[in-house]
């Protein structure tokens, strides 16, 4: 049982909040500048494509709005990036294609640091599971050329981290999506059962191709209960 | 748990030299590494793998940024529990953060902000420190920050920190560069600050470089070599409080590991032998 929360003296609350509000509102004061530089540094480091595309004036305006209006709830300094994405989504600050780019880069970051242990690939297996770091996203741009013009068509992609710590973005076909959906639902599935379940929707060749490709790149992996304990 | 000695010398762990550390056996002259727990806990992948391997070679101490122990909102006990788990997982005995706040009534601001140093705020702060120490099962060690704002009529920093340590049982991480920066920026006496601190509460020392702006104002950037004047103050500190583990912070314009270790060695020698090094 934790000790009870002490209550801050009202004068301390008023004095400190007044100082903070000035820093939030005034970008020309020293602490106002430091707060803005911290956020800008975190965004440039986490979202290089977004910050490059949005331009410095718009980025400054978004950071001003973030500091004035957002209630950050995560203590960790490195969660500035996550808090900014949440704020941007709620406020609709950026154009839809820029928000999509921001969300894509956030998914890359989230897969990179996801605490899950990724099993090493197996050459033969009866059961398959979805890589535990997988994020499924719809992208209206080619992630290999994110600066190229968008065509407005959302295409499904999987973003995940491999056992050797590479973060991959994989375009998904319809059979891929069906296999992923089924594997997620049942958590782990024997390949034969999987193929039987999806036979009405896809041909055996399509399913085998999808499973083989997913296994080769690490999107699918052995289920956790087939592995030994890890730290 | 691994312990340090007063002669131990360390560096803050930076991504810039993680690979260099892992490419060689334990480096001579580097006795410990300091990590920010929130940058590593609940994180997997390459970073976790690197930290696991580094922890096999070096003693670690934890120096947080995000505790916000001095803010005026309810303590994030979930965060402190996560930190405690991280400390236990890596056998880290020494946990420090800053005597500062990172959150107001609106939410987190993600910086080390000064809080008003008033006698009437001390019981509240001591209660907050007790909460953290209760959850982590460790003494909380608090660093004096570089503060660029002063509230009117505050207590002197040294007296405030000393009283807080006495009331709460917290330790003090004495950042010698911060003491220098504050004294210069606010026209106070760094020597008086040092003399006000209780020696037995000081757990270890930080030393770092700062940036001098055109108008003479100093910013604690951790991006330049340690200034001669800070080395002078470090010698005064050791004469007054005795040797402690010493950690060099370098977070910007980080040189190669070899150059950084040379710097650390030169700083330690200069402090010990009382001669000036570094431009």
Tell me, yes or no, whether A5 lies in a domain.
no
Based on the fold, state whether residues A193 and A151 are members of the same structural domain. yes
ipTM computed for the complex: 0.92
Q: Tell me which of A112, A127, A142 is where a domain ends.
A: A112
Residue A205 and residue A138 share a domain: yes
Which of A112, A145, A175 is the C-terminal boundary of a domain?
Answer: A112
Chain-chain contact of B103 with A72 (C-beta, under 8 angstroms): yes
Residues of A in contact with B101 (CB under 8 A): 16
The CATH homologous superfamily to which domain B9-273 belongs is Divalent-metal-dependent TIM barrel enzymes (3.20.20.150)
pLDDT bracket for residue A229 (50, 70, 90): very low
Taking CA A107 as the corner, what is the angle to CA A106 and CA A110, rounded to the nearest 5 degrees? 85
Closest residue to B74, CB basis, from A5, A117, A161: A5
Same domain flag for A176 and A92: no
Cβ–Cβ gap A16/B38 under 8 Å: no
Give the confidence band of A227 by pLDDT, cuts at 50, 70, 90: low
For residue A147, name the pLDDT band (cuts at 50, 70, 90). Answer: low
pLDDT of residue A228 exceeding 50: no
A69 has a pLDDT exceeding 50: yes
Per-residue confidence band for A127, with pLDDT thresholds at 50, 70 and 90:
confident
On whether the pTM is more than 0.80, the answer is: yes
Residues A108 and A153 in one domain: no
* Mean pLDDT of the region A18-45: 95
**CA separation for the pair B168, B165 (Å, rounded):** 5
Helix (H) or strand (E) holding A97: helix A96-113
In this structure, the answer to whether residues A92 and A124 fall within a common structural domain is no
Mean pLDDT across the stretch A37-44?
A: 95
B164-218 pLDDT, tens digit per residue, is: 999 999 999 999 999 999 999 999 999 999 999 999 999 999 999 999 999 999 9
* DSSP output for A129-193: EE-TT-EEEEESS-TTSTTSPP-S--EEEEEEE-TTS-EEEEE--HHHHHHHHHHHHHSSEEHHH
Task: Indicate the number of domains in chain A.
Answer: 2
Would you say residue A128 lies in a domain?
A: yes
User: Do residues A67 and A123 both lie within one domain?
Assistant: no
Q: Which residue of B has its CA nearest to A34?
A: B111
- Considering the domain architecture, whether residues A164 and A196 belong to the same structural domain is answered as yes
Task: Please indicate, yes or no, whether residues A203 and A161 belong to a single structural domain of this protein.
Answer: yes
Could you identify the residue written with the tokens 């026209």? B187
Domain termination site, one of A112, A142, A158: A112
Using CB atoms, pick whichever of B106, B110, B148 lies closest to residue A30.
Answer: B148
Same domain for A39 and A129 = no
Residue in chain A closest to B67 (alpha carbons) equals A75
Distance CA A120, CA A110 (A): 20
Task: Domain of residue A41: give its range.
Answer: 10-112
Chain B contact probe: residue of A2, A4, A5, A6 with most B CBs at under 10 A: A6
pLDDT tens digit sequence for B99-121: 999 999 999 999 999 999 999 99
Residues of chain B with pLDDT under 70: 1-2, 274-279
Same domain (yes/no): A15, A104: yes
Whether A170 is in a domain gets the answer yes
Alpha-carbon distance of B7 to B192, in angstroms, equals: 25
- DSSP H stretches of helix in chain B: 18-22, 45-57, 77-89, 122-136, 157-168, 176-186, 190-196, 228-241, 257-273
Q: Which residues contact B4 (CB under 8 A, 6 or more apart)?
A: B10, B31, B32, B59, B61, B94, B204, B245
CATH number of the domain enclosing A148: 3.90.930.50
Whether A172 has a pLDDT exceeding 90, the answer reads yes
Note whether A75 and A147 are same-domain residues. no
């Amino acid at each position: 049982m934790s000790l009870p929360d002490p209550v801050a003296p009202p004068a301390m609350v008023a004095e400190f909040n007044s100082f903070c509000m000035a820093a939030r509102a005034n970008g020309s004061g020293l602490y106002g500048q430091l707060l803005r530089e911290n956020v800008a540094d975190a965004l440039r480091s986490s979202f290089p494509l977004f910050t490059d595309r949005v331009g410095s004036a718009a980025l400054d305006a978004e950071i001003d709005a973030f500091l004035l209006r957002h209630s950050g709830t995560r203590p960790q300094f490195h969660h500035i990036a996550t808090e900014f994405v949440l704020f941007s989504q709620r406020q609709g600050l950026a154009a839809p294609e820029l928000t999509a780019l921001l969300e894509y880069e956030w998914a890359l970051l989230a897969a990179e640091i996801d605490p899950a242990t990724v099993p090493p690939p197996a050459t033969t297996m009866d059961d398959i599971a979805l890589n535990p770091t997988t994020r499924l996203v719809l992208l209206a741009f080619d992630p290999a050329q994110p600066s190229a013009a968008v065509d407005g068509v959302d295409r499904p992609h999987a973003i995940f981290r491999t056992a050797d710590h590479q973060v991959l973005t994989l375009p998904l076909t319809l059979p891929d999506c069906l296999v992923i959906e089924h594997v997620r639902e049942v958590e782990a599935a024997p390949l034969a059962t999987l193929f039987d379940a999806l036979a009405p929707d896809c041909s055996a060749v399509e399913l085998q191709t999808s499973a083989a490709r997913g296994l080769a790149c690490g999107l699918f992996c052995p289920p956790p209960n087939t592995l030994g304990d890890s730290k | 748990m691994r312990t340090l000695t007063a002669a131990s010398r360390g560096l803050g762990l930076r991504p810039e030299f993680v690979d260099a550390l892992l490419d060689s056996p334990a480096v001579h002259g580097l006795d410990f590494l300091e990590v920010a727990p929130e940058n590593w806990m609940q994180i997997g992948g390459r970073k976790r793998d690197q930290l696991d391997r580094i922890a096999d070679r070096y003693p670690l101490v934890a120096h947080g940024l995000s505790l916000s122990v001095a803010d005026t909102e309810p303590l994030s006990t979930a965060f402190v529990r996560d930190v405690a788990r991280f400390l236990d997982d890596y056998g880290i005995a020494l946990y420090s953060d800053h005597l500062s706040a990172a959150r107001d009534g609106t939410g987190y601001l993600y910086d080390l902000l000064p809080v008003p140093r008033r006698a009437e705020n001390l019981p509240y702060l001591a209660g907050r420190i007790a909460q953290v120490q209760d959850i982590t099962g460790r003494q909380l060690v608090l660093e004096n920050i570089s503060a660029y704002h002063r509230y009117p009529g505050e207590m002197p920093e040294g007296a405030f920190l000393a009283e807080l340590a006495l009331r709460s049982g917290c330790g003090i991480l004495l950042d010698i560069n911060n003491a220098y920066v504050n004294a210069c920026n606010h026209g106070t006496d760094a020597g008086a600050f040092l003399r006000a601190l209780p020696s037995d509460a000081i757990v270890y020392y930080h030393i770092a470089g700062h940036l001098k702006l055109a108008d003479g104002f100093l910013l604690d950037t951790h991006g330049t070599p340690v200034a001669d004047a800070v080395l002078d103050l470090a010698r005064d500190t050791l004469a007054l409080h005795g040797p402690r583990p010493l950690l060099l912070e370098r977070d910007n314009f980080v040189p190669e590991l070899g150059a950084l270790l040379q710097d650390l060695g030169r700083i330690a020698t200069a402090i010990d032998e009382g001669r000036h090094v570094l431009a």
